[in-house]
Chains A and B, each alone.
Chain A
């Protein structure tokens, strides 16, 4: 079936075209063209915008704005985004990373969305032409979302304050059994003063580990200090089952990997 692609110089015009039924935005195409190749007839037209702002990375002080069309490969190459390299490199093999965009990753269903797990821990803001919204609100409503995402922005954490881990069975590339990202701040006495932890594959989309975060406050990052947090790790999760791992397996191994991440 012919799949019409319309290209627009501005996001505004692309947004208007995206209102027609059957149209989807084309990022890197790793999910949407794949769906068309598989015979998904719900997509009859693709829209994209070549606005250069969509491909820009802007860093002012520790404020980072990444355009939605920026690829995972571009993030790994950026000299000032070293903190995020691990999360961007977690997405597919080299060819996928050259194509996969930040915008597309925000919509990727589990077991995908590894970079979005990092963005959720970073408390990123998701922008469209109409305004901004917190990433949690975006993720909750993404199924009904029709607007083109233009960028994500966040405060770059201190290098030692951000941790990311992806567990997969096929090395070095392979989809996630689970992924975890954490932004941790420590008080001068070594206890946790603030914690944001995000999980991938523990629901149909990235989610916060709120019970774990709460249980870590005021604790030290050692076996004894993290015990309560690990016990709370599976609270509120509904892991996916897929050919990589069952929900049961994911539930069993989450505290193990979370423990390793927290102990550094």
Chain B
């Protein structure tokens, strides 16, 4: 079957690839483009490890067909640090020991990023809600929630 051309912006850079019909965005990112920051956990929409930001919204790359992303603006964890400096969320995840095996971390951070983009001073409930589609099997969630609240505080201090 003919390959299908797909073009989108990934972390600010233009990408153009040929994919097989039905290729998920997760597989296109990892296998074609080499961005392995989104993780494939369940491929069923349940774990959130594959979460990426598409046109400003958090989405599951395992359930998104690459072909439907033509012209989209896609952000993944690998585009978050700037000039070798960790994003405040990445810093906070390290500082609060919110990462153990790290498998859920890329999805958690992307979901948290969308939250902070829209709600710079979230409540604890806002954080819990924003991360409710992401499963972590290691941390017990408390350090992750703390990390997001810490990053929010750090952001608002920087903005002040």
Stretch in B8-16, B78-86, B128-136 touching the partner: B128-136
B157 interfacial contact with A, CB 8 Å? no
Q: Which of B1-60 contact A (CB under 8 A)?
A: 1, 20-22, 24, 43-45, 48, 51, 57-60
Stretch in B64-72, B87-95, B143-151 touching the partner: B64-72
Q: Are A37 and B44 in contact (CB under 8 A)?
A: yes
Q: Which residues on the A side are within 8 Å of B68 (C-beta)?
A: 5, 26, 29, 48
A94 interface neighbour in B1, B43, B58, B67, Cβ under 8 Å: B58
B contacts, CB < 8 Å to A: 1, 20-22, 24, 43-45, 48, 51, 57-60, 62-65, 67-68, 111, 114, 128-130, 132-134
Docked pose: A30 CA to B130 CA in angstroms: 18
Q: List the B residue with the shortest CB-CB distance to A173.
A: B132
User: Which of B24, B128, B130, B133 has the most chain A CB atoms inside 10 A of its CB?
Assistant: B133
A60 interfacial contact with B, CB 8 Å? no
10 closest A-B pairs by beta carbon, nearest first, are: A93-B133, A3-B22, A173-B132, A37-B43, A2-B21, A93-B132, A2-B1, A4-B21, A98-B57, A33-B63
Question: How distant is A152 from chain B, measured CB to nearest CB, in Å?
Answer: 22
Residues 29-52 of A, flagged 1 when their CB comes within 8 A of B and 0 if not, give: 110011011100000001010000
Q: Are B24 and A95 in contact (CB under 8 A)?
A: no
- 20 residue pairs bridging A and B, Cβ less than 8 Å apart: A2-B22, A3-B22, A5-B21, A28-B63, A29-B64, A29-B68, A30-B45, A33-B24, A34-B63, A46-B65, A48-B68, A93-B132, A94-B58, A94-B111, A94-B130, A95-B58, A95-B111, A96-B60, A96-B133, A172-B132
Q: Are B128 and A172 in contact (CB under 8 A)?
A: yes
Q: List the B residue with the shortest CB-CB distance to A93.
A: B133
A contacts, CB < 8 Å to B: 1-5, 26, 28-30, 33-34, 36-38, 46, 48, 73, 92-96, 98-99, 172-173
Other contacts beyond A1-B22, A5-B21: 16, CB < 8 A: A2-B1, A2-B21, A26-B68, A30-B60, A33-B65, A34-B63, A37-B24, A73-B57, A92-B133, A95-B59, A95-B111, A96-B60, A98-B57, A99-B60, A172-B132, A173-B133
